[in-house]
Chain A
């Protein structure tokens, strides 16, 4: 499954939903992890409420919590899966009063034009 003889394609995962209210964020992350086995050129972008997926300090499993898995920790495992290109939308961050120091992984901040360019460069876009 390592892309042997195959062409490496550029895959972009677009994440636009907050983490726990709907299943989108978790589903996206699971597809990213499974897809990592195919060793393609993967990027993740976080736009709109999607930036909240990366917020530091999420507490979900403590006795008083909402009682689901804190999958924000899993984004930190992506590097080990060779998924290293994570981007956030500048305006979405600003609108929410967030800076990169509020996030639990290293990301690159893209402005409108840079984000549009990144999308235009992809072979496959998976939207969540």
Chain B
């Protein structure tokens, strides 16, 4: 199962609820404003590092770069994907839950 989050974790609790209500082994993709949750050095870093122990996490690189950050600013273990990678993730999972 793929979970997608597109809201900033500093504004909405979408990422928090997503991590709380998703199962081990699932995939979580952060895009649009949710990419701020994938960055090193924020208050959320520990939460994301914890989630990485049981879940696969992805972030859409074009949204990172658009916001003035680079791939090296992303928490290690969070995989960066391009648009084609986003499509592959959606295609390979049976269901997608969008945390709007």
Contact = CB atoms under 8 A, between A and B. Distances in A.
A127 B62 CA distance: 24
A47 B18 CA distance: 10
A115 interface: yes
A91 B20 CA distance: 10
A48 B20 contact: no
Contacts of B14: 16
Contacts, number: 43
B43 interface: no
B58 to A, nearest CB: 18
A28 to B, nearest CB: 11
Interface in B58-89: none
B97 A14 contact: yes
Interface centre among A91, A112, A120 (most CB of B within 10 A): A120
A122 B99 contact: no
Chain B: interface residue count, which band?
10 to 19
B11 to A, nearest CB: 13
Given A16-B99, A125-B96, A127-B100, A120 B23 contact: yes
30 contacts: A16-B17, A16-B99, A16-B100, A24-B100, A47-B21, A48-B17, A91-B20, A92-B17, A112-B20, A112-B21, A116-B21, A116-B23, A117-B23, A119-B1, A119-B21, A119-B22, A119-B23, A119-B95, A120-B1, A120-B23, A122-B95, A123-B94, A123-B95, A124-B95, A125-B96, A125-B97, A125-B98, A127-B97, A127-B100, A128-B100
